[in-house]
Amino acid sequence: MAEQAAHQHHAIDYIEFTVVDMAEAQSFYGAAFGWKFSNYGPDYAGIQKPGGGEAGGLRLESEVQRGGPLVILYSEDLETSLAQVRAAGGTIVKEPFSFPGGRRFQFKDPSGNELAVWGEA
């Protein structure tokens, strides 16, 4: 196993998503973004960081509470990311739009979590 990256004081350390179907969630995020997972039983999976350690996790629950902070992912190729999210079964809730410095879109995963993806202009 790769060495755990150092934790940074007051930095966002871990993001946890509630999902209603673990297999479907792993399939979606794997297909859309190439994420890999460490399974810790049927109710939890860690989201692996490319260099080692974990960036977050998927937690199985009977329902997803909507609202709260918006998680925004970065993409080097926004149009490809948009196509991958669609192909993986994500629902686009805001088509790509421009803002100072870039463009982004927002989507819901199969469990109903809303995320965004942005790229530089």
Q: Where are the alpha helices (DSSP H) in 13-67?
A: 22-33
Asked whether the beta carbons of 59 and 18 are under 8 A apart, the reply is yes
Task: Kindly state whether residue 1 falls inside one of the protein's structural domains.
Answer: no
| CATH assignment at residue 98 | 3.10.180.10
Task: Kindly state whether residue 5 falls inside one of the protein's structural domains.
Answer: no
Task: Kindly state whether residue 10 falls inside one of the protein's structural domains.
Answer: no
Residue 68's domain spans which residues? 15-120
Task: Kindly state whether residue 3 falls inside one of the protein's structural domains.
Answer: no
Per the structure, how many domains does the chain have? 1
Query: What one-character-per-residue DSSP string does 64-120 give?
Result: ----SPPEEEE-S-HHHHHHHHHHHT-EEEEEEEEETTEEEEEEE-TT--EEEEEEE
- Taking the C-alpha atoms of residue 60 and residue 49, their distance in angstroms, rounded to an integer, is 20
The pLDDT tens digits for 55-88 are 999 999 999 998 889 999 999 999 999 999 999 9
The pLDDT tens digits for 9-51 are 888 889 999 999 999 999 999 999 999 999 999 999 999 999 8
pTM score, whole prediction = 0.89
pLDDT attached to residue 1: 42
Task: Kindly state whether residue 8 falls inside one of the protein's structural domains.
Answer: no
pLDDT attached to residue 66: 85
